[in-house]
Amino acid sequence: MSKRIVCKFGGSSVADAEQFKKIKKIITSDNKRGIIVVSAPGKRNPKETKLTDLFYSAHDLAVKGVDISGPWNVIRERYLEITKNLGLNSDTVTDDFALLEKQLREKPEEITEDYLVSRGEFLCAKIMAEYLDAQFVDSYPLIKFDKRYRVLGQSYTDINQALSDESKIYVVPGFYGSGTKGNLKTFTRGGSDITGAILAKACDAHVYENWTDVSGLLMADPRIVADARPMSYVSYREIRELSYSGASVLHDEAIAPCRDKDIKINIRNTNRPDDAGTIIGPEVEGNKEIITGIAGRTEFSMIHIEKSMMNKERGFGRKVLSIIENQNLSYEHSPTGIDSMSIVVDSKSFSDVEDNVLEDIRLEMNPDSIKVIENLALIATVGHGMSHNVGVAAKLFTALADEKVNVRVIDQGSSELNIIIGIDENDYEKAIKAIYKAFVS
């Protein structure tokens, strides 16, 4: 493992020149921070639109043959304002803008959506490199995907070589790479996190710092538990189990590359650089809190099927799950009884295919009854500390019972890493508060 630190700065951290200045301080305060990944500039206030979204709009208008001036002028002004306020020469980006605009207006069919949108991070990285007096390295030729979107092994070698000089500072745009035919491909939204993780893996980084606008992760949603405690350490596995939480700070796919090499991910706040933030890393032995965090989400539905002698009918579960799969639906949980099976699914995705799913189950499985339970919330209580600890479930269910919360689904993985409950949506906040109070407050 090298001593180098990969730092990724998200949209809010590069939203304007003042944020760039904070980044310079962060980078110069530790000379191990040699590899910088940036997102496209984000919102400066809640009313604004992220530049990435404006790039999508501009492309949409251009291919429809409609004037792009609306979003385009806003995008250009934002970049020019940043360069101006940093005292940089605007030539860094004006030529790029002129060329892109000409293409969009004259030959929009020659510019793909992925390419145009990727300019959000590309231009931001160019400005950042100039401002930090660092070397700009484009991610397009370095990060290559196969047809199934997996990063090719060769990419790791190429990245390692391209960023090999440990005395230098490199700035790399996040969010994209190239597909099998040399076409530029973006990741899914929020994908600059993945770029940072790939670079961290390729360079055997000591730590991957993910700089954002919060000082790490909290043990529960602060909109529900106002004084929720910060998590100082959470394992890779725990963070996956906590991914139900609506506002996820880190892209799901950024974990795996770091996990492959046990590289710790440190979530940090650009606006409060002295805060230690949260570390996401390998499991650690030793005395831990019983729970690490609580996360949940509403808007789930449960399909409940009953059929006598179900347990003797071979392949029943497999067939039901293939019906779900054939409708392109993924499922969250599947609690079973001897003559019953339930499948918990996301309500929004389910509503599009509900009739087909129910009809197929009726026709193919011939159940005694089938019903759909709507408005379900799932809550995951997560922590390695629960394992082999007597009384955890008792404490959790007592807390819920005391608040008169009826539990409809219970699921505890055999790893004892989590207990997931399904409850009526109306009890959602009450339940989170009750669990938090029982284990944390």
Instruction: State the minimum distance, in angstroms, from the CB of residue 252 to ligand ASP.
Output: 13
Q: Is 174 in the site for ligand ASP (CB under 6 A)?
A: yes
Q: Which of 52, 83, 92, 342 binds ligand ASP (CB under 6 A)?
A: 52
Q: Is 196 in the site for ligand ASP (CB under 6 A)?
A: no
Q: Which is nearer to ligand ASP, 11 or 177 (CB)?
A: 11
Q: Is 50 in the site for ligand ASP (CB under 6 A)?
A: yes
Q: Which residues, 83 to 112, sit near ligand ASP by CB under 6 A? A: none
- Of 259, 300, 9, nearest to 128 by C-alpha is 9
User: CA torsion angle for 140, 146, 150, 156 (degrees, to 10)?
Assistant: -50
Task: Return the structure tokens found at 52.
Answer: 């990435």
Task: Return the structure tokens found at 102.
Answer: 């000409």
Q: Which of 5, 7, 9, 11 binds ligand ASP (CB under 6 A)?
A: 11
Q: Which of 34, 108, 191, 383 binds ligand ASP (CB under 6 A)?
A: 191
Stretch that binds ligand ASP, among 15-23, 152-160, 183-191, 325-333 (CB under 6 A): 183-191
Range 198-229 burial, b when 16+ CB lie within 10 A, else e: bbbbbbebebbbbbbbbbbbbbbbeebbeebe
Instruction: State the minimum distance, in angstroms, from the CB of residue 194 to ligand ASP.
Output: 8
Length of the chain, in residues: 441
Q: Which of 79, 145, 170, 175 binds ligand ASP (CB under 6 A)?
A: 175
Q: Is 79 in the site for ligand ASP (CB under 6 A)?
A: no
Please work out, in degrees rounded to the nearest 5, the angle formed at the alpha carbon of residue 146 by the alpha carbons of 140 and 150. 90
Instruction: State the minimum distance, in angstroms, from the CB of residue 198 to ligand ASP.
Output: 13
Stretch that binds ligand ASP, among 184-192, 205-213, 363-371, 397-405 (CB under 6 A): 184-192
Neighbours of 67 (CB within 10 A): 10
Q: Is 192 in the site for ligand ASP (CB under 6 A)?
A: yes
Q: Is 277 in the site for ligand ASP (CB under 6 A)?
A: no
Side-chain half-sphere exposure of 245, counting CA atoms within 13 A: 25
Q: Which of 64, 168, 189, 362 binds ligand ASP (CB under 6 A)?
A: 189
Q: Which is nearer to ligand ASP, 194 or 399 (CB)?
A: 194
Q: Which residues, 18 to 47, sit near ligand ASP by CB under 6 A? A: 39-40
Q: Which is nearer to ligand ASP, 11 or 367 (CB)?
A: 11
Which positions lie near ligand ASP, rule CB under 6 A? 11, 39-40, 50, 52, 120-121, 174-175, 189-193
